[in-house]
Each structure stands twice: as structure tokens, then as C-alpha cells.
Structure 1
Amino acid sequence: MPRSYDSPIRAARSAETRQRVVQVAGRLFAEHGYAATTLRMVARDAKVSLERVTAVGGKPALLLAAFEDAVNDGEPLGLTRRGDIAPAWAGDDLGEILAALVSYVALSNERINALTAAWSEARRADPELAAAYRRRMDDMREAGRAFVTELVARGLVDPGVDPAAIADEFWAASHPTQYDLLVTLAGWSPDRFRAWLLERTVRLIPPPDASGGATAT
């Protein structure tokens, strides 16, 4: 009978191998594009067998896993529970909360910029990835709506705002393609992009008016 600690050790090693495969796949997709990256390339760079790679998933599954890994940066938690947002979220300073949100989004965009381009390439030829992309975008919009709704409920944002409309505008402004346009193509620094996004976000999500009326936008 195997010793009791064998199973946890094997599980930990399997998880480590899976993580390495996903991260290597993400790097290769980002460097070479979706079509040019093969599972054999992933196996070679991850230093595992091809069978081990296919056990993690095919190319579509690896792309989706790599994207989520890059977005989460090791913290697969709800938005407000992330270590880089939670401290500000626990307080009542709207400016600090929005600054933490924008900082996370900007850094996330920096990590996923090339992967987003790979996904855009792949979804044109793969209905599965096209549907997954649409679901991911809907999830981003819903997360934004829930974020603004909670801020309104806490009395930190003007109660007259439309959370869904704000979420859509923030989603459009913070979308990875905006980062690609302004940083990759226009030559902005990541810091300039972050400052630009923060300025737009502060105007987009107004605090309650001191007089009790709606804040002008």
C-alpha cells in the first residue's frame, strides 16, 4: 500500500507541471502567435512529454488557461478580494479604490497584451475560441457592473449613476486592445496609460454630490 503522503506529493507535482505547461504555452502563443505554436513546442520548452501536454489540454484549452493565468497573476480570486485591491476596498476612500482598480487593470493588460492578440487571431478561425472570448468579455462587463453597484450601495458613488452603462464604458476604456493601441502602437509608457485610465475612471465614477444631488458628468 502506498504511503499516505504519496498522493498529496503526486498531486502537488502534477499541479506544478500543469502550471509550467500553461505558462510555457502562454509565452509561446505570445511570442509566435496561435497558429504557429504547436503542442510539441510546448512540450519541448516545458521539458515534459507530448502526452503530458495533451493531458493538460489541446491548443484552445491551453490558450484559455494561459490567458486566465496571466490575468489572475497567481490570485484566482474575486476582484475585490485580490491582494492589490482588497486593502483599498476595505476602506471608504473612493479615490484609493479606483486607483487600486486601475493599477490592477493596467498591470493585467501589460501581462496579457500579446496573449490577447493571439486570442484575436485564433478566434477568427475557431468557433470555440470565439464563443469563449465573448463569454470572457461578458464576464468582464458583469464584474464591472457588480463593482460599481457595490460602491453605490456603500454610499461611495452617486446613486443616480447607471452601473451597467459605467461598466460598459470602463470595459471599453480598459480593454486590452486600448493598451495595445496606446502603448504598443502609439508608444505611450505603461505609467502614462495608467494615468490616462485613472483620469477617465475618476470622471466616469463620480462620488455623491455634497448637496445630495446628482454629480455632473
Structure 2
Amino acid sequence: MNGADQQQQSEQAEAAQRRAYRSTLRDERAADTRTRIIDSARALFAEHGFAGTTIAVIAKHAGVATPTVYAVFSNKAEIMREIVSRLEAEADGRQWRDRVTAEPDPRRKLDLYAAWHRTLFSSSKQVLGAALSAGSDTSVLDLREQGDRNAQDWLNPIISALTDAELLAPSLTPQRAIDRALLLSSVELYFRSTIGRGWSDDEYQQWLTEALRQQLLADIPG
């Protein structure tokens, strides 16, 4: 290889490095913008509610142009969806799933499900309250349906374990057991008990644990 070829290869390598650097820089800036929008929306939703917060206000709070917000998220519901997803991660959702999977006692799996909901709800009370305040907003109703699907994903292996161990109440099908668990662990009942009735989070968890056992388990001692 002559000197000219070596020089050309060197220049091509440097150009590739510059392109990779610019691409990485763009990705970092995009991630930073996305995070600023999410953090701003989270604070504003908690303070002013979902309906009381506009995209323009979110953009101003995040220090970006309004079209930038729309370029990243098509509407407020998409922002809320990502906030809720991040809340689960912040509450160590993956670790809780691992604990449920590793627990050998199916009844204890159900108890851990109750503990997980207490952890998630208590750590994200303001944002979840904002979502509830949106009332009949169609986009937020879609978000609630997604939340139910996520909860069912948690429940499917738990109910299967109870069924396999013949611990599920004989009057229940697996789907009816899941339905009951979804109703009992709804965020609406969490707010009704803690905000509406003044229960502590510990009292809520104890009630949910007992209610799930009473509603789902066969009448077997222990």
C-alpha cells in the first residue's frame, strides 16, 4: 500500500469517527430533551393536574419550543404513558417481578403482588392522581387499559401457580380470579382508602393482602 492509499484510509477513518461522534452527540441531546420534557410534565401534572397542563406550558417549563414537544410526543397521553413506565422502573418493578418468580409459595406470590402495588402507588401518588383527575379523557382511558394489561401480565403466572397447587378457590376460573385481583388492586381503591379514608400505606397493604387471600384462595388452613 502506497502513501496515498494510507492517507486516504486515514482520512476515511477520521471521517467515520466524526460521523459516529456527531451521531452520539445527537442521541445524547435527544435523550436529554426527552428527559427534560418528561421531568417538566411530571412536575406540572402533579401541581396542576392533567387537564390543567398544556403542551405549551410543558415546553416552556422544559426550555424547549412547543413544536419540539410534539416532535417527541404526539400528545399529553403519550407523555403520561412514558411517565408511568418510568415510575414502574423507579419502583424497581423488574426486581419485584424477579422476587415473585423466585418465591416458591404461591400464596406468598400473591402477598408480594400486594406489596408491589403498595410500593408503586405510594411512590407515584401525585402523578397517578393527575391521571385520575383526567376523568373521561379518551387518551387517558387508553392508558388505564394499558395499566390493566400490565397488571394482568403480573397476575397470570401467580394465578397459574395457585391453580397448579390447587390453592385457588374452587368456584373461580383463572380469569375470574384475575378479574377479582385487578379490581382489588386498582389505583382507584388505593386513593379511596389512603386519601379518602385516611389509611396509611401499611394499612392499605395489609387490607389488600387480606382481601386477595379471602377472595382468591381456597379455604385451606395455613
1:40 aligns with 2:56: yes
Query: How many residues were matched structurally?
Result: 203
User: Percent of counterpart pairs with the same letter?
Assistant: 23
Summarize deviations over 1:66-117 as a string: whole Å, max 9, x none. 2332244376xxx7xx212313422312343223221211121224444344
Mapped partners of 2:126, 2:78: distance in 1 = 17
Equivalent of residue 67 in structure 1, options 65, 79, 84? 84
Post-superposition offset of 1:59: 2.0
Residues 94, 156 of structure 1: 8 Å contact kept? no
Tell which structure's C-alpha radius of gyration is larger: 2
CA 99–159 in structure 1, closer or farther in 2 if over 3 Å, else same: closer
Mapped partners of 2:192, 2:72: distance in 1 = 33
Match of 2:104 in 1: 92
Match of 1:183 in 2: 194
Match of 1:210 in 2: none
Match of 2:152 in 1: 142
CA 216–97 in structure 1, closer or farther in 2 if over 3 Å, else same: closer
Mapped partners of 1:74, 1:100: distance in 2 = 14
Post-superposition offset of 1:190: 0.8
Matches within 5 A, 1:192-203: 192-203=203-214
Mapped partners of 2:96, 2:79: distance in 1 = 26
Structure 2: which 5+ runs fail to align?
1-14
CA 158–128 in structure 1, closer or farther in 2 if over 3 Å, else same: closer
Summarize deviations over 1:1-28 as a string: whole Å, max 9, x none. 4342432343244224313312321231
RMSD over aligned Cα atoms: 3.0
Mapped partners of 1:197, 1:144: distance in 2 = 16
1:52 aligns with 2:68: yes
1:23 aligns with 2:35: no
Whose helix fraction is larger, Structure 1's or Structure 2's? Answer: 2
DSSP 3-state at the match of 2:86: helix
* Amino acid in structure 2 at the alignment position of 1:146: N
Equivalent of residue 183 in structure 2, options 162, 167, 172? 172
CA 44–20 in structure 1, closer or farther in 2 if over 3 Å, else same: same
TM-score by length of 2: 0.74
* Amino acid in structure 1 at the alignment position of 2:173: D
Mapped partners of 1:96, 1:148: distance in 2 = 9
Moved more, 147-156 or 18-27: 147-156
Summarize deviations over 1:33-92 as a string: whole Å, max 9, x none. 1221122322233333333322222223222222332244376xxx7xx21231342231
Mapped partners of 1:19, 1:115: distance in 2 = 16
TM-score by length of 1: 0.76
Mapped partners of 2:107, 2:202: distance in 1 = 17
* Amino acid in structure 2 at the alignment position of 1:106: R
Post-superposition offset of 1:176: 0.5
Residues 71, 111 of structure 1: 8 Å contact kept? no
Structure 1: which 5+ runs fail to align?
207-213
